[in-house]
Structure formats: structure tokens, C-alpha cells
Structure 1
């Protein structure tokens, strides 16, 4: 039978400080890590409290960083970012704050860039089907349908 390493509260705290310092983490990720370390509930609470008090764990900062990253790097739309943050149990307030990190002008420019690139790849002679494929792709990236349809109709006549 395989023995798993046991950690004292201090050892686990140091481990989690490093885990959070390496990149922003949300409570759900930290709780999963503590679960993986087989920490008891009292120790989990104590460690999470310590991480929050020493600013290793900050949900608002995490949400803002996450939104900026997914938008700038993966070119996700606001809907996909918000849904992903909801899945990570981020509060509605912090999700709203995080989405404000995305500049409206950059947002629309990103949408146009993605749409133009994708349009070149769609080999479909029927303009109705072409419009549909492009719209479906953009909506799957998390962009709002009203923006998508407006753009798709202006690109494909």
C-alpha cells in the first residue's frame, strides 16, 4: 500500500503560498489542492484564512487577471469568460468587475479580427451557410449574439 506524504499546517501553508504566488488562484483551486494534500477541514480553513490575510488569495484580483488573460491570449468573448468564472464559483460582483477589465474598443476589434480570419477559412459557396458557420464559431468563442449577427451580416452580403 502506498503511503502519501502528510503535511503539518505550516508545511501546507508554505506549499500553498508558493502555489498562489506562482500564478493567481481562485478559492476552488486552493480548496482542491488542500483536498489533494488530504488536509483536515480545520486546517483547510486556517490555511485559506492565512492566504487571504496575506493577500496570496484574492478573488477579485484573480477574476480580473483571468478575464484579461482569456480575452487577450485566447480571444474569448465576455460570455465565455463569465461562464468560466461562474464555474470556478467566483461571485457575481467579481465577475462584473472582471468584465470591466475588457476595453470595449479592443473587444470589438478582437471580434472583427477573429471573424475576418475565420471567414477566409470557410470554404462554403452558399452565403447563408457561410454566415451560419461564422456566427456559430463566434458565438462559441463567447461573443454576444447581437454583436455577432451584426458583424456577420456586414461581412457577408
Structure 2
């Protein structure tokens, strides 16, 4: 039990973790199922696991550093078992609407230089697909594509 606690402390100290990641780690170290709740509660009390802090860190990292859109961020957090209300709250606190469109524009301009295609429409279609894979909404993509830069 003490070894498991130390392993989990190191695991949670390295970077922000959500509950599902900690549970997965507990399964990897073959901890008995009946210990999961007790250790998870202890980690939360000691503030090693904090879903809001994790969500903030995740949103900022993926949005600012990796250039992910809201769709991809939300989908990934939901897959990790984060509450929908918490996701919405953190996104509204951390991402400004004007900044979001500007971010999509910046990413699109950078990608546009490397997109090959015979026609303008073909290049625009490739750019749309790229932005969709990044997780941007169709309305944001349309707004970006309609700017003079991509004509």
C-alpha cells in the first residue's frame, strides 16, 4: 500500500492528472480494486488530483501550444471522464471568442503556405479539412476561409 502511494505521488507530481488517468495507473500497478477509492480520495484531499486544475491545464496546453479547436478539446476531455459542465466552465473562462477566431486564422495562414493543389477550391478544401481535424467548428472555419488571404 505504501509503495503504491509513493508510485501514485510521483505519477501525480510529474504533471497534472485526472481521475481516469490515476485509475488507469492503479490498474497498471495491479492495485486491488478495493484500494482505488481510498487512495484516490487521499490524493484529492492532498490536492494531487484536482479535476478543475487538470481541465484548465489541458485546455490551455492544447489550445495555446497545440492549436486545437474546441471540438477536439471537448471530445478528448469527455473521453477522459471530465464533467461536461466543468469543461464548459473552464473553456468560457480560458478562451476568448475573438482570440479563438484569430487563433484559427493564424493556424490557417501558416498551413496555407504548404498546401498544394491545382485549383484554389482544392487548396481551400484541404485547408478546411485540416482545420476540422484540429477541432475547429464549421462556422469558424467558414469565417476564416472567406477572408481575403485565401482567395
Query: How high is the TM-score relative to the length of structure 1?
Result: 0.89
Aligned residue among 105, 111, 122 for 1:112: 105
> CA shift at 1:31, angstroms?
0.5
Distance 1:43 1:18 in 2: 18
Displacement of 1:108 after TM fit? 2.0
**Alignment-derived partner of residue 117 in structure 2:** 124
Deviations 1:68-96 (A, max 9, x none): 00011111011111011011111101211
**Alpha-carbon separation, structure 2, partners of 1:61 and 1:29:** 14
Q: Distance in 2 between matches of 1:141 and 1:108?
A: 13
The structure 1 segments of at least 4 consecutive aligned residues displaced by more than 6 Å after TM superposition are none
Q: Secondary structure at the match of 2:146?
A: helix
Alignment coverage as a number of residue pairs: 149
Residue of 74, 88, 92 corresponding to 2:84: 92
Deviations 1:71-126 (A, max 9, x none): 11111011111011011111101211221212333322211111111111112231
Q: Is the 8 A contact 1:27 1:59 kept in 2?
A: yes
**71, 81, 100: which is aligned to 2:73?**
81
Contact kept? 2:70, 2:135, Cα under 8 Å: yes
1:12 aligns with 2:7: no
Question: Is contact 1:138–1:148 with CA below 8 Å preserved after alignment?
Answer: yes
Which of 42, 46, 55 is the matching residue for 2:34?
42
The answer for the alignment partner of 2:138 in structure 1 is 145
Which one has the bigger helix percentage?
Answer: 2
> Bigger CA drift: 82-91 or 11-20?
11-20
Deviations 1:29-71 (A, max 9, x none): 1001100111111211110010011111111111111000001
Instruction: Report the equivalent of 1:3.
Output: none
Between structure 1 and structure 2, the one with the greater Rg is 1
Unaligned segments of structure 1, at least 5 residues: 1-8
